[in-house]
Amino acid sequence: VEVPVPMGIEATEEAFVPLAAIRNSSRSLSESNGDNFVSRFQEDFELVQCLGKGGFGVVFEVKNKLDDCHYAIKRVVLPNKQESKDRVMREVKTLAHCEHPHIVRYFHAWTETPPPGWQEGQDKIWIE
């Protein structure tokens, strides 16, 4: 069965993730407060599978809990340097303006700042 999967990215303090074309972009930020941390990734999406991982991040196939559509979300882990964040933001803005039949459509980006160790714990569950 072939499943069309639009592209996307989610983010954390160390990671930045865009979600598959922004026409009316909006950005949100989840900050970590220990046990109070709420991940937008977990709140808005149901994990279907890990599609792949590499030097530039991890890509997940997810199902949006609101619209039941399948998307690919790319999570990119970043060092805590402004230069790295600027580079990712340039990529996000470029993808938002791309429109081509052979390029995966980009929808949205956001950032999250999970507490230390949270992402690593989730990755053990999410990435097989």
- Which residue ranges make up the annotated binding site for ATP? 74
**How many angstroms from the chain centroid is the CA of residue 50?**
12
Q: Token pair for residue 32? A: 């970590």
Residues forming a β-bridge with 112: 30
d(CA 108, CA 12): 15
* Cα of 75 vs its chain's centroid, Å: 4
Annotated binding site: 74
Backbone CA torsion sign across 49, 52, 57, 59: negative
Q: Which residues is 16 bridged to in the sheet?
A: 76, 111
